[in-house]
Structure 1
Amino acid sequence: MSTKQRFVEALMNESLVELQSIPKSDLHNHAGRGGNIRYISEWAHVDIEPAAEPFRSLQDMQQWFVESVKRHCPGIQGYLKRIEASFAQAADDHIERLALSFGVDEVDTLGGMEPFMRIMNEYHRRFAPATQFLPELALDRACNVDEVYNRLDEILAYRWFRSIDICCDEFAQPITSFKSIYQAANTAGLALKAHVGEFGTADDVMEAVEELGLHEVHHGIAAVRSPQIMNWLSAHHIQLNVCPTSNIMLGVAENYGSHPIRKLYDCGVPVTINTDDLLIFNQSISQEYMNLYQAGLMTAEELNEIRLIGLGGVL
């Protein structure tokens, strides 16, 4: 039986166990939040209850994470356990391509690029050796751009990061502030990505892609408000890395049955399905596929096409 047939049958039979055995990708995953709640609960010997209702804001989400999860795994030891959990989750869910994002502050906490790379590579080797690890440098939208730019050569000289992203508050400062950074990242051969169009507008998505030369957009679901912009993204093969449960839990999508990924897919925009912050949203990649299928939003065959996009289009 082909992998496609196995994937389709797993969805039709609603077999999460079988779905977990099939190669998938997770291309939008914040590393310190990418593991399974159960993994951390068992290590910390506590019961961590998943969030019961949508968050009111990113700040509300962060507060829940600190109070419900992070306090049970504090400090460097706790951070490293959460990194371990992210790789262990990738292995458990047969994630073949894993883009984990890390901030400059995380690099500094572990003593700089050399010890940071060594530690992360070791966790990769120990807990998910069969997974292709794609480290992503994540910049806070509110960061001091000049300070980051002045450190960029030092960070990128190691040629370890594979992509760059801008995350957190979409409205903290204009996207154009990051042009010099993205020009340098492009010269260094990184894939150019950014969080945009999660809370903003379709025009924000278009502006970010054009101004920074983005190859991919994290979220980008606001593009559904403009058929013209969706058509442009489709024509230019700009991939949107969509996170369904994150969108629902942050109030930018009502439910799985009406999620914007349907319209994006129908318009020919390349889309992938991702977890964003699994330790917060409590839905694995396999569960995300199952959620969309069970809601009747997409067929098993359509979801398999999305799975293949995440794997680089490999049949």
Structure 2
Amino acid sequence: MKDFYSDKFIESLKKHDIDKLRTIPKSDLHNHFVLGGSREYIQLQTGIEIPFFKGVLSTMQDMHDWNNMYIGERFNTKEMRKLLIDATFVQAKEDGIKILEIGEDVWGLGEFFENNIEELIHVFEDANQRIAPEVELRLQIGLSRHCDANYLLRCLEPFWGHNIFYSIDLYGDEFTQPIENFIPIYKKAKNEGLRLKAHIGEWGTADDVKRGVELLELDEVQHGIAAVSSAEVIQFLIDNHIRLNITPTSNVKLGRVQELKTHPIRKLYRYGVDVTLNSDDILIFDSDISKEYLRLYDAETLTADELNDIRLNGLRRL
């Protein structure tokens, strides 16, 4: 599969031309919008400077500490939440993103939108049309693994029945509670026609990835890099057409991978796993999509042709 931009993309990588890379269509299917926007736009609008983390984080708590210091309570109002959404579309537009998958955590409906689901949907759609109408918004429902499953089911009631929502995603500490606790939610989400996703295999094992896919009937896994340690799980992902939405710089910054050159995406891709390249948390990791492609090319993790194939895969209709 090739498109009009493939030659330009490959040439831009080889010439290390980040500006041209930003003009070429790409997707971002693993972006947490609170940390997924343009730091320049946020500073311009608020005067708040948000530096990215330059070292390697020792634990998830280190990441939470950074978040509390630079995001924290300053953005916990409706207007600031809307600003972060705007910033994410600004970032996407500047980086040539044509498919952007983002969404609000279910608790945010009450916290920022007075439990008005129509307003929540409007805020995302308005930002999309106002800032980056060329970007396809795939609106996601977010679930925190730290929340009780029955609480989440109650929070989800206003979300059901709205066709605008494309997917559902479970994120947070993989070890907070057993993944089977979320089976009722995912059964309901499947009946609602949502694409089923969850964060697994960033901190856990290859067996955790396989078990999570089987229990929740997942279509996609956010991260899933632990699968690289098991030939059986790799084949399971291939046979069941499970997509892994991978975030390389995030994996390195969180100490899950030692260096980009040996990142699991190389082996997973070359074995035939469906993989995409994504940003995760741009504000903390300095991980916009064009930089991710260029970093992997410079590290010789994958060739320019392979990276172009991954780019096209992210733009593929499922």
TM-score by length of 1: 0.96
Q: Is the 8 A contact 1:205 1:223 kept in 2?
A: yes
The DSSP-based 3-state class of the residue aligned with 1:165 is strand
Contact 1:44 1:72 in 2 (8 A): no
Q: Does the CA-based 8 Å contact 2:51-2:283 persist in structure 1?
A: no
Residue-by-residue CA offset, 1:78-102 (whole Å, 9 max, x unaligned)? 2221111001111111111100032
Moved more, 50-59 or 185-194: 50-59
Q: Which residue does the alignment assign to 2:66?
A: 64
How far is 1:69 from its partner? 3.7
Structure 1 gap ranges (5+): none
Partner of 2:104, secondary structure, is strand
Matched with 2:154 is 150
Indicate conservation of the 8 Å contact 2:51/2:284, yes or no.
no
Q: Provide the residue aligned with 1:180 in structure 2.
A: 184
Matched letter for residue 110 of structure 1: F
Hey, what does 2:94 align to over in structure 1? 92
Q: How does 1:218-297 map to 2 (within 5 A)?
A: 218-297=222-301
For residues 76 and 189 of structure 2, the distance between their equivalents in structure 1, rounded to whole angstroms, comes to: 32
Aligned to 1:111: 114
Report Cα offsets for 1:207-247 as digits up to 9, x if no partner: 00011110000000000110110111112111000000110
Q: Deviations over 1:112-163 (max 9, x none)?
A: 2111111111111111111010011111112111122234343112222110
Secondary structure of 2:29's match? strand
From 212, 221, 224, the counterpart of 1:208: 212
Does the Cα contact within 8 Å between 2:82 and 2:123 map onto a contact in 1? no
Q: Identify which range, 20-29 or 32-41, moves more after superposition.
A: 32-41
SS of 1:48's equivalent in the other structure is coil
The question of whether the paired residues in 2 share the 8 Å contact of 1:273 and 1:288 is answered with yes
Pick from 284, 297, 303 the counterpart of residue 307 of structure 2: 303
- Structure 1, 143-152 or 118-127: larger mean CA deviation: 143-152
Secondary structure at the aligned position of 1:195 is classed as strand
2:145 to 135, 141, 147: 141
Q: What residue identity is the alignment partner of 2:105?
A: G
CA drift of 1:46 comes to 4.2
Which residue of 16, 20, 38 corresponds with 2:22? 20
Q: Distance in 2 between matches of 1:176 and 1:71?
A: 33
2:165 aligns to what SS in structure 1? Answer: coil
% of aligned pairs identical?
Answer: 40
Q: Secondary structure at the match of 1:101?
A: strand
Show CA shifts across 1:255-311 (max 9, x none): 111111011111110100000111111121000000000011110000011001100
Q: Which moved more, 1:1-10 or 1:166-175?
A: 1-10
What is the RMSD computed on CA atoms of the aligned residues? 1.6
Q: Which moved more, 1:52-61 or 1:260-269?
A: 52-61
